[in-house]
Amino acid sequence: MLIGRTFAKAHGLAGLRAGCLIGNAARLESIREAVPPYSLSVFAVAGWRAALKDLEYLAWYRTQVEESRGLLYAACDRLNLPYWKSAGNFVLINVSAVGDPAEIVDALASRDILVRNRSNDPGCAGCIRITAGLVRHTEIVIEALEGLCVVP
């Protein structure tokens, strides 16, 4: 078994593309051959080390994500949009009842809100993926989504 862990959103390191792979040394050996010897810059390593020590920020961000997910679930319930509960920092929402997912993604993008169209992924017809991050950002997404949907 191998476990991969990114340090993107929760640790505030998305731009650094930092992560790790944990597993049995023998299993990791073949992967090591494919990894460049200096795959992380000194800046990424410094950011990674600082982020791992900042447990207060991590706890605060996790709380933001949990609250944001709850806000998204409540909005989907109000708008009668099917969704899948998540343990991650995103919610998959089926928007096909209110419009074409690509058009909804474009309409949100015109408001500087970036969400992912997942409608072409297996099992995700009609779906978009919305990140549940900072509560204030989630409130902005919900307000825009409500403007695109007609509540029955």
Does the pLDDT at position 31 exceed 60? yes
Tokens of 30: 């073949």
Residues 142 and 76: their CA atoms lie apart, in Å, by: 9
- The 10s digit of each residue's pLDDT in 57-104 is 889 999 999 999 999 999 999 999 999 998 888 999 999 988 899 999
**CA 77 to CA 31: how far, in whole Å?**
44
CATH superfamily, with its number, for domain 62-148: Aspartate Aminotransferase, domain 1 (3.90.1150.10)
Kindly report the pTM of this predicted structure.
Answer: 0.80
Tokens of 37: 């010897």
Q: Show the tokens assigned to 73.
A: 């679930």
Provide the token pair at 149: 């949907």
Q: Which of 1-10, 37-46, 59-68 has the highest mean pLDDT?
A: 59-68
What SS3 state is found at 23?
strand
What residue segments make up the domains of the chain, in order of their start? 2-53, 62-148
